[in-house]
Amino acid sequence: MAGLAGTLLPAFGYLPALGRGGFSLEPWHRFAALPGIWTSVGRSLATGIATTLVSLGIAVALCAAWHGTAWFRHSQRLLAPLLSVPHAAAAFGISFLLAPSGWLMRWISPSLTGFARPPDWLTVHDPHGISLTVGLVVKEVPFLLIMMLAAMAQSDADRSRRVALSFGYGPMTGWLKGVFPRLYPQIRLPVLAVLAYGISVVDVAMILGPTNPHPLAVRLVRLFNDPDLSWRLPASAGAMVQGVLVGVGIVIWTGLERWVRAAGSRWVVSGRRHPEDRALRFAAGAVWVLATGLLIAGLAAMGLWAFADGWRFPEVWPDRLTWTTWERHADGLRAPLVNTLSLALGATGMAMLLAVGLLEAEARSERGSWTRFGGLLYLPLIVPQVAFLFGAQILLLSAAMDGRWLAVAWMHLVFVFPYVFLTLSGAYRAWDRRFESVGMCLGASRFGVFLRVKLPMLLRALTAAAAVGFSVSVGQYLPTLLIGGGRLPTITTEAVALAAGGDLRVIALHALVQMALPLMAFGLAVLIPGWQFRNRRALQAAS
């Protein structure tokens, strides 16, 4: 809230640090006079809504078509690895795949296209934001699927689906009529978080988005980093516009919800069963395979570039794979890697302590669930980062705290904590409290039971939540850039900064390291409980 206030006051001309002690509308006039600014606004809004519609459509179609099948259960194993890939790394992967000289074009050239050189096409940075939307969709679909799977576990979805099938409904129709109406209210906040992120994203937009003009959030970041400090006032006005834009997006989405609810209600009571939906089911599965395949193929192309010694178009494979790029840039990687690890470990440690403390206090107070505060938990995910990080930066500048490790870690915590809390809360609340009663009957104190019984039994959930928090922190771009003031470079800020460069090997190297860190965290989240309870099968199941 202090960050929002710190953005609002400069938006109306009040910034004593620049000698502006009065209020005026001049920043708004300067912002509105920027060339192409309303095109940037429109592109940001369109990209956010399109990303949310397509991502939700794919996730819903996949669940409706294949929920309850063995293929669906096998597909769920891909979700955690896909979710662990940072947005920037995924965007680089899509860029390496879809660019005119990308891997996809190499596979079909020159045999199918006749191209001996990369065509002059805008398959990346296209003016309509299609590549930006694709880059966001391949990352948001796994997120929404995980949210839907968690919600289905609380909605008795399996039994509802079987009852619908017993009445002669097709699998997709039965799921959409019997499960989705009760499921959607539980995933509405995550859906709105996807909408807000799509409208205000910065790092992915810099890698894949339109360039003439850029989406609004990218232009605001450049205004804030302009050497002419007077541009911070119109940038603050633009940050408020960005906040309003997310509000407009939510209003439009709410209108769509009402229209779908009205049309869907008539369809639900129509009695139409649509038993023959095999073609639609395979189409839904094919779209999921395509989205996943795009991301995996892009990451594979990125991995090849990180080791490629020479790779001329239209060759499908590099001339040879070497460690030359890694050896040349090893020294430059050291400081960003140390900063990334220290910030991620610090923010995740603080988030874990805070989440466990709140959940334990909730368990002992018996005053009900923290669920009613779910909206507050999602607040940092729904409010655009640019709307309050600019204000937070100004406040930290006033307090001479900008660029400090603690300030950056604290800002990472703002975004890490909601994910850690949501990942941990389900398992923590489901823990059987009879174990606590048994422990206390045997003479252990309540704290002793918490330390020696509860935490070990929840080890798998704790390590999973820590891995999610670590992954979120590694992917933070804007908080690190603005609060760190360029003095705490991380792998993510370095990778995005290289996006405008021409050395694909260096870009791939940084993106690969950025992707490897969360994967290692998720690997440890699986290995640590497995090793700790390798001789205790029942405890493994309970954790």
**pLDDT reported for residue 93:** 94
Residue 151 exposure: Cα atoms within 13 Å on the Cβ side: 21
**pLDDT reported for residue 426:** 78
Residue 246's pLDDT band, with cuts at 50, 70 and 90, is: very high
DSSP for 293-345 reads HHHHHHHHHHHHHHHBS---TT-SS-S-B-SHHHHHHHHHHHHHHHHHHHHHH
pTM for the model stands at 0.88
Question: What does the DSSP 8-state code read for residue 391?
Answer: H
The mean pLDDT value for 150-161 works out to: 79
pLDDT at 9 over 60: yes
Q: What is the CA radius of gyration of the chain?
A: 25
The mean pLDDT value for 364-369 works out to: 68
What tens digit of pLDDT does each residue of 487-502 get? Answer: 889 999 998 888 776 6
The mean pLDDT value for 314-324 works out to: 92
**pLDDT reported for residue 28:** 93
What is the residue type of 387?
A
Residue 427's pLDDT band, with cuts at 50, 70 and 90, is: confident
Which of 226, 243, 219, 245 has its CA nearest to residue 31?
A: 219
How far is 227 from 393, CA to CA, in rounded Å?
A: 16
Chain centroid to Cα 24, Å, comes to: 37
How far is 90 from 511, CA to CA, in rounded Å?
A: 9
Which of 158, 194, 165 has its CA nearest to residue 59?
A: 194
Q: What is the mean pLDDT of the chain?
A: 87
How far is 256 from 140, CA to CA, in rounded Å?
A: 19
Question: E strand or H helix at 422, and its extent?
Answer: helix 405-430
The mean pLDDT value for 318-331 works out to: 90
How far is 385 from 455, CA to CA, in rounded Å?
A: 34
**pLDDT reported for residue 496:** 87
Question: Is 493 within 8 Å of 233 (Cβ atoms)?
Answer: no
pLDDT at 434 over 60: yes
Residue 381's pLDDT band, with cuts at 50, 70 and 90, is: confident
Question: Is 261 within 8 Å of 182 (Cβ atoms)?
Answer: no
**Termini Cα distance of the chain:** 37
Q: Greater confidence, 234 or 158?
A: 234
Burial class (CB in 10 A: 0-12, 13-18, 19+), 417: buried
The rounded percent of the chain whose pLDDT value lies above 90 is: 44
How far is 40 from 369, CA to CA, in rounded Å?
A: 42
How far is 310 from 305, CA to CA, in rounded Å?
A: 9
What tens digit of pLDDT does each residue of 288-309 get? Answer: 999 999 999 999 999 999 999 8
The most distant pair of C-alpha atoms in the chain lies apart, rounded to whole Å, by 80
Q: Which of 2-16, 65-79, 246-260: highest mean pLDDT?
A: 246-260
pLDDT at 5 over 80: no
Q: What are phi and psi of 104, to 5 degrees?
A: -65, -45
Residue 10's pLDDT band, with cuts at 50, 70 and 90, is: confident
The mean pLDDT value for 246-269 works out to: 93
**pLDDT reported for residue 373:** 57
How far is 474 from 451, CA to CA, in rounded Å?
A: 29
**pLDDT reported for residue 543:** 45
Q: What are phi and psi of 32, to 5 degrees?
A: -65, -25
How far is 336 from 492, CA to CA, in rounded Å?
A: 8
**pLDDT reported for residue 6:** 74
The rounded percent of the chain whose pLDDT value lies above 70 is: 95
Burial class (CB in 10 A: 0-12, 13-18, 19+), 386: buried
pLDDT at 369 over 70: no
How far is 320 from 299, CA to CA, in rounded Å?
A: 18
**pLDDT reported for residue 299:** 93
How far is 198 from 384, CA to CA, in rounded Å?
A: 10
pLDDT at 374 over 60: no
How far is 117 from 314, CA to CA, in rounded Å?
A: 7
Which of 336, 332, 331 has its CA nearest to residue 489?
A: 336
Find the length of the chain. 543
Three-state SS for 359?
A: helix
